[in-house]
Structure 1
Amino acid sequence: MAHSNSFDAIRYYLAFIVVFAHFSILTGADNFRWFNTSGEAVSGFFILSGFVVYQSYMRNADTLLFCRKRLARILPPYVFIVMLCAVLGCVISNLPVSEYFSSSKLYRYLAANLCFLNFLGPELPGVFVDQPIHSVNGSLWTLKVELLLYATVPLVYHLSQKFGKKKTLIAVFIFSIMYKEGFLWLYENSGKEIYRIISYQFGGQLIYFYSGTALLLYFDWFERHIKPIFVSALLLYAMRSWIDVLDHISPFCFAVILVGIAFHTPKLNFIGRIPNVSYGIYLFHFPVIQCIVYSGMYDRMPNISLVLSVLITVALSFFSWYFIEKRFIVKKRT
């Protein structure tokens, strides 16, 4: 299998799609409505993880080492941003400092977010209360999904060893489709928003993650037939909005597009030689944009607000990489 790829370039692209989408949502900026595809970008991250993380486990099927590496990559910057927002929230809260730190809402936020149950405590006391969206960091919900997907890797790997990779992958895909369709059916028949939200959580993202894995496991076949497969995937993915049944295969089509680009755009490979701070960009951008909106800057200078949001986010991401993430990464990279 070829090792040279542009996965990092794609990660940056997906991260900035999420940034622009959230900038549009949080500011109400009509100019960026066409960027409002953050859900697809998030699923793209899961596809790349399915390829890379499963490959890591294949190289060394030591479950404890695997868990250690994955947690060391995810947890440090995640804990940092949760704690940073909790501490600095007092600066922009409309509550007195003493009341802020004695509020049960603060500790509910900390407990919920540190346990990856962000939906139980998305807000800080008195913070962003005059803005359309009060959440401190609406991006964090995906991290619990990411960890749950990682947790399935040893199980799926050993099942594929016992029953074969094709049967195992098909079973995973069927489960994921049934999960999503089941909760969407409940939503349509009850009108309860919670069912729609659950539909794109862990079970709904399994098909994206393991579409990436499928391309890894059948990579040689994929490379031999790359042109017809890639063109077909592009056409089917483009038509998914008009033909409902294509929605079930669109995750695999999306995976073909991303992995195909990753291994056939050598001019972008150089990006892999610089620190990959896309994870930091994903973690930091939401509260940064919220603070920009809180300051009133967007109302006065919308374009400068976007540039400043990006610059501050990138700066924080490099800080996180050099002073937090890099210190915890296990030496033997995967």
Structure 2
Amino acid sequence: MELTKDFKVNNFDLLRFLAATQVIFDHYYQHLNIPLSQFGLDVLYLFPGVPVFFVISGFLISASYERNNSIKTYIKNRLLRIYPALWACIIISIIVITITGVSFIYWETLLWLPVQFVGLIYTPQFLKGYGFGSYNGSLWTIPLELQFYVCLPLCYILAPKKGTTYWFIALFVLFAMASALVKMPGFTAHIEKLITYSFVPHFYLFLAGVILQRIQLYKQKLIRGKALYWIIIYAVYSLTLSTTIEITAFTLIKNIILAFSVISLAYSKPLLAKKLLGGNDISYGIYIYHGLILTVMIQEKITINLPVLILTTYAAACLSWVLVERPFLKRKERTIRSQPGG
């Protein structure tokens, strides 16, 4: 039994492309300290890239995992998706930053570099004064994705044989509460930072994608082809209630509506992504290279024009896709296309 065309034909590549582009806008305004009104901030974060990535990851990766019982295949596919492009980006980062006059000849590099290749991203002391304070700030979510990848099989292994979906709903509630608790007073700045950069406060977004995949939301009439309605609901909520509801509750509700909206967008005019992108997925490249380009521009005091930043990032992402990502992704073992749904 194969997955139906209903599942496979979607706009996730396009949504990831837009999400990665939103992150460029976010970091551009953030790192250049360009002031925005409250309404401007609300519009900027109307389609927040990172939460969108996490929801889509939960949706697609859980579908892949459920359709193949091989942990070996699961690990291989996940490694091929993350590491080749990441390694290329780290190497290019070192080369480019060295060209701008920074030396990496420190004892600290002997520890830092292997850890970067593993995916435990952090900025070494000798680079904290570079650019906007990081050699590539956008890579902070890579360790989170890796933690999600480890947690997902554990969640399935620990799940009861009956009521697996309810198990994931319970986990969603648990981690949503954990996300709220992190924002409450009482934590030292150091502890709060450690928790924030762990999977704990973000895992509920990934779990939202898992749950929506398991209940086959994409088949439902209130979702399929109804993107406009979900966009209106989401936009009205986000733009009118941001200052009237307690921020933690507001964010949680907003992200739940966002998750439904993302799935609806993926399955409304589902051929759109194929028509616009031709099966190419440059979103990962956009995400991992824009931070490097931006921090180098800041360091070198290059006048930063947003369209130039975007186009330069797109060019780097296209090269990453053609030269690195696509060749390695061809080595992935196809699970979603050949295994039964669940």
User: Hey, what's the Cα distance between the residues in 1 that align with 2:219 and 2:233?
Assistant: 13
Q: Give the superposition deviation at 1:296.
A: 2.2
User: Hey, what's the Cα distance between the residues in 1 that align with 2:194 and 2:48?
Assistant: 15
- Partner residue of 1:10 out of 9, 15, 23: 15
Alignment partner, residue 162 of structure 1: 161
Once the two structures are superposed, the pairs formed by residues 69-148 of structure 1 within 5 Å of their partners are 69-93=77-101, 100-119=103-122, 122-123=123-124, 125=126, 129=129, 131=131, 133-148=132-147
Q: Secondary structure at the match of 2:200?
A: helix
CA contact (8 A) 2:140 2:197 kept: no
**TM-score (norm. length: structure 1):** 0.83
Q: Report the residue type matching 1:111 in the other structure.
A: P
Q: Bigger CA drift: 50-59 or 242-251?
A: 242-251
CA contact (8 A) 1:172 1:206 kept: no
User: Hey, what's the Cα distance between the residues in 1 that align with 2:53 and 2:147?
Assistant: 14
CA contact (8 A) 1:160 1:167 kept: no
User: Hey, what's the Cα distance between the residues in 1 that align with 2:175 and 2:12?
Assistant: 25
Q: Give the superposition deviation at 1:284.
A: 0.5
Once the two structures are superposed, the pairs formed by residues 25-40 of structure 1 within 5 Å of their partners are 25-30=30-35, 34=41, 37=45, 40=48
User: Hey, what's the Cα distance between the residues in 2 that align with 1:190 and 1:322?
Assistant: 45
Change (3 A) 1:217 1:234: farther
Change (3 A) 1:56 1:161: farther
Q: Does 2:132 match 1:172?
A: no
Q: Does 2:213 match 1:216?
A: yes
Q: Does 2:244 match 1:242?
A: yes
User: Hey, what's the Cα distance between the residues in 1 that align with 2:67 and 2:276?
Assistant: 24
CA contact (8 A) 2:218 2:267 kept: no
Number of residue pairs matched by the alignment: 318
Alignment partner, residue 328 of structure 2: 328
**TM-score (norm. length: structure 2):** 0.81
User: Hey, what's the Cα distance between the residues in 2 that align with 1:83 and 1:61?
Assistant: 35
Q: Give the superposition deviation at 1:46.
A: 0.5
Task: Give identity over the alignment, percent.
Answer: 24
Alignment partner, residue 265 of structure 1: 269
Change (3 A) 1:144 1:193: same
- Partner residue of 2:259 out of 251, 255, 271: 255
CA contact (8 A) 1:5 1:262 kept: yes
Q: Give the superposition deviation at 1:152.
A: 2.1
Q: Report the residue type matching 1:243 in the other structure.
A: I
Change (3 A) 1:219 1:240: farther
Change (3 A) 1:47 1:209: same
Q: Give the superposition deviation at 1:128.
A: 7.5
Greater relative contact order (CA < 8 Å, ≥ 6 in sequence): 2
RMSD: 3.0
Change (3 A) 1:196 1:105: closer
Q: Secondary structure at the match of 2:202?
A: helix
Change (3 A) 1:110 1:220: closer
Once the two structures are superposed, the pairs formed by residues 289-328 of structure 1 within 5 Å of their partners are 289-298=294-303, 302=304, 305-328=305-328
Alignment partner, residue 181 of structure 1: 180
User: Hey, what's the Cα distance between the residues in 2 that align with 1:243 and 1:268?
Assistant: 36
Change (3 A) 1:41 1:220: closer
More helix by share: 1
Alignment partner, residue 97 of structure 1: none
Q: Give the superposition deviation at 1:138.
A: 0.6
